[in-house]
Amino acid sequence: MAKALHIDYHKCTGCRLCELVCAVSHDGISNPIRSRIRVMKWEAEGLYIPMSCQQCEDAPCMNVCPVKAISRDESLGRISVDYDACIGCRSCVGVCPFGAMNFNAIDKQVFKCDLCDGDPQCVRFCEVKAVDFIEADEICTSKRRTAAERVSAAGKEAAALEAQL
């Protein structure tokens, strides 16, 4: 089973270092519009949500591509663009439900997360691990544990309330 990018926005501090290292490691350039991962912000509420490609199983970008330039790379668990085949029609940009297929107006090319060939730089630099790279079937395990803790805490609270009555 390949690893997947797991984003836990609760942990995100909104610093956008992921954007910087993504752009610099791919293009050697600092410019957020070149980043495959983007942090969406609601500053007035202190809410920051990193958005990136989900590498969908039934990927709309792959399905819509008229020249079959987009394909699934099973070994790395990613969806890739074949730039020799791509005609730059941006159909994939239009259908992506996450806004994760980007178009770079400077180089006139679509681009998306390639998981840095298995060593995502956004993950490497994110100290709080708001962006993590873990086995896809393990993502739910930690979530299940957190949810179970909530259930347990709620149970204890209920018992304590009952004892007071």
Interface positions with another protein (CB under 8 A) = 10-11, 13-17, 20-21, 24-25, 28-34, 43-46, 48, 105-106, 121, 124-125, 127-128
Q: Give min distance, CB of 1 to another protein, in A.
A: 28
Q: Give min distance, CB of 46 to another protein, in A.
A: 4
Q: Which is nearer to another protein, 34 or 36 (CB)?
A: 34
Instruction: Sort strands 47-51 and 109-111 into parallel, antiparallel or unpaired.
Output: unpaired
Q: Which is nearer to another protein, 11 or 72 (CB)?
A: 11
Q: Give min distance, CB of 146 to another protein, in A.
A: 12
Q: How far is CA 2 from CA 72, 74, 99, in A?
A: 12, 8, 23
Q: Which is nearer to another protein, 43 or 74 (CB)?
A: 43
- How many of the other CB atoms lie within 10 Å of CB of 116? 19
Q: Give min distance, CB of 122 to another protein, in A.
A: 12
- Counting Cα atoms < 13 Å in the Cβ hemisphere of 96 gives 25
Q: What are phi and psi of 28, to 5 degrees?
A: 70, 20
C-alpha to C-alpha distance for 104 and 111, rounded to whole angstroms: 7
Q: Which is nearer to another protein, 85 or 147 (CB)?
A: 147
